[in-house]
Structure 1
């Protein structure tokens, strides 16, 4: 008796996760085009997936960072310093690209008053104060509100303290981190279904008609992000590992950037990046700290968004600003963006700060923020994809460079 052919679900299960996500993406687009009303009803599926990722991300970061530090052995290399340098270098390079693109292809805005309630920081001092207050937040409240600055601070502090505890205590913490990782893997397995719901409902509900009037601005934004992802980041990685960077770059874009594009949340993409780092064979002691850290401070996409939109306002108002000043002020604003990274549209909320540095009044700056929300369907997605995929990319580059150095000296 011949064996029956495998079922469709069994065949689908045997495909790689990335292939399954692509199938979910295509199915979502098809449903939005063929049956828009049905596609709108898939909103719940996408919301469940994103909510599950956001729910598991804070406890994942807290437990993994704490366990990693608590079980860290003296003399064991974590490569965090070179990763931090790459994060800062990538942010600066992204801001520089955005400045030059804004001068080569200047954008003009129709600044009309929009009734949008936005709470933006009043200045750099306020942003830095907020950052410090986030670090000393109540740990329970930090976990409940997904305050990743506070979560990281408490995880690092608890990890250092537990390093002096007994072997049994550290073993229990290690087992707890493995248990959380299992739950994360289960959530990630539902990524294709979640992406299907997100794509179908977004296309059916929002569409792209509202974006037509801002195509030039959007083209500059997306063009800068693509240039950074496919040119600047590969150059930085090549400088670090001294070999062809594109296999690593494309892997990170495909397996991290694709998911981040549709979840539009760096925090929600932390579990995805953790899983990818593990598959790449990176040191757990390194990526368990660098990935959540990157989700809060690695802001290349935010640097581009803040720079392009602010300089669009500068061009519209006829304000003359020299290139070095534009780069410096954009980087300052992008670095400060970590204080608002946990807020939806966090980079947009820093635009009034950047505009104030150019002498633009808040009434006009808030209109620029409104423009950002209008094009946010694509801008925020592309920004998150660049930010999140770069977290893994630079972590992997630092680890590979260290391995090559160790091999050469052996």
Structure 2
């Protein structure tokens, strides 16, 4: 019997081995590990704009095929939920984390320039175009494909998306543990391990609490609008939550999410339309995780998180993660470009973000899909009197002016 060793266990082993080996390894060995992380980090910088273009463009094109009014409402509520989640995470993290970190950073422990080992080589692998260029191009092409219904372009980008997805699942994800191993080996060599591990524990607990706070907000709103008990609604969606914990995939959980969303009493045709859509565009749990981890890493490296810089980052996250790859850690892969361009993250900070995020990935996904049920009910409430769906008999009556 073949035992499947998932990504999260591999990441955990990479961290433990990195700390253990980095604490005792000679400088030349740590520099060897660092060389791999440098090369891999350069490849990540190269592939990120392609990830954005490959997933956002066809994602927008596919959104344009839906029922107009319902699509608009669903997209608006999903985006608002994501923004609220990110804002909640910012204020919670900036209030809680500095108190636990005692005002210290890695830069105050030791000078990173002197403490950390350097790569044997410096590989310059510039991307084909920048992150913002990729976003604008993705929007232009996605909206254009939706408007013109260009089958040739849509087919091309769907196949391009498949190529990028294969690159992520067959190259990036398998090599991530080695990348994180090298980062932690270097951190252990520089003497910064204790601070990093304490941050992991604090951020982990805080994020779980924020996830459940966001679910409480979503189901309180859904329950109030539909005059139903929020606790009953949340209990109804729990099978979807626990399924997502195991699958780490919103798409794989759609059948369970759809079944449970119907049990909340929402219109079946509304849930049939919105649940698969929300699995792609609603990422409130992932946003909480990304924002919280970004603030933790920023504090750890001596930075000061400011709402003026984080709010635009949150706004862009809600768009960038559309149609994120259907692999563990897809959201953080799509967000790497924003972390670098909007928050100034370097390769080490990005690697810490990936490690922190992947440790929380299943809980973020579970929060995403559970929240989908609440949003489906909210959309149903706002479309109930709009007659968004017409039966065939209604259309016949209208056409005959009866």
TM-score range, shorter chain: 0.5 to 0.7
Deviation at residue 219 of structure 1 after TM alignment: 1.3
Correspondence for 1:59: none
Deviation at residue 279 of structure 1 after TM alignment: 3.9
Correspondence for 1:105: 96
Correspondence for 1:249: 234
Compared CA separation, residues 122 and 98, structure 1 to 2 (3 A): farther
RMSD: 4.2
Would you say the 8 A contact 1:78–1:286 is kept in 2? Answer: no
TM-score where L is the length of structure 2? 0.56
Correspondence for 1:90: 81
Deviation at residue 331 of structure 1 after TM alignment: 2.9
Residues 1:223 and 2:209 are matched in the alignment: yes
TM-score where L is the length of structure 1? 0.55
1:258 to 242, 255, 265: 242
Distance in 2 (CA, whole Å) between partners of 1:147 and 1:268 is 19
Residues 1:296 and 2:313 are matched in the alignment: no
The Cα offsets for residues 143-186 of structure 1, whole Å up to 9 and x where unpaired, read as 994999xxxxxxxxxxxxxxxxxxxxxxxxxxxxxxxxxxxxxx
Correspondence for 2:322: 338
The within-5 A match list for 1:87-166 is: 87-106=78-97, 123-127=131-135, 129-130=137-138, 136-138=153-155, 145=162
The Cα offsets for residues 101-130 of structure 1, whole Å up to 9 and x where unpaired, read as 111122668698999xxx999524324545
Correspondence for 1:320: 304
Compared CA separation, residues 212 and 359, structure 1 to 2 (3 A): closer
The within-5 A match list for 1:387-402 is: 387-400=368-381, 402=383
Would you say the 8 A contact 1:287–1:395 is kept in 2? Answer: yes
Compared CA separation, residues 228 and 341, structure 1 to 2 (3 A): farther
Compared CA separation, residues 89 and 213, structure 1 to 2 (3 A): closer
Q: What is the number of residues matched between the two proteins? A: 273
For structure 1, list consecutive stretches of 5 or more residues without a partner in the other structure.
Answer: 1-39, 45-64, 149-209
Would you say the 8 A contact 2:286–2:361 is kept in 1? Answer: no
Distance in 2 (CA, whole Å) between partners of 1:260 and 1:242 is 27
Correspondence for 2:20: none
The Cα offsets for residues 228-281 of structure 1, whole Å up to 9 and x where unpaired, read as 112x213332453355322112212x1211111111001111122223334445
Would you say the 8 A contact 1:270–1:295 is kept in 2? Answer: yes
Would you say the 8 A contact 1:240–1:401 is kept in 2? Answer: no
Distance in 2 (CA, whole Å) between partners of 1:101 and 1:362 is 24
Compared CA separation, residues 392 and 243, structure 1 to 2 (3 A): closer
Distance in 2 (CA, whole Å) between partners of 1:143 and 1:276 is 34
The Cα offsets for residues 179-217 of structure 1, whole Å up to 9 and x where unpaired, read as xxxxxxxxxxxxxxxxxxxxxxxxxxxxxxx98872112
Residues 1:267 and 2:251 are matched in the alignment: yes
Deviation at residue 341 of structure 1 after TM alignment: 4.2
Distance in 2 (CA, whole Å) between partners of 1:393 and 1:211 is 35
For structure 2, list consecutive stretches of 5 or more residues without a partner in the other structure.
Answer: 6-61, 107-111, 120-125, 146-152, 166-195, 388-402
- Secondary structure of 1:86's counterpart equals helix
Compared CA separation, residues 365 and 249, structure 1 to 2 (3 A): same
Correspondence for 2:332: 348
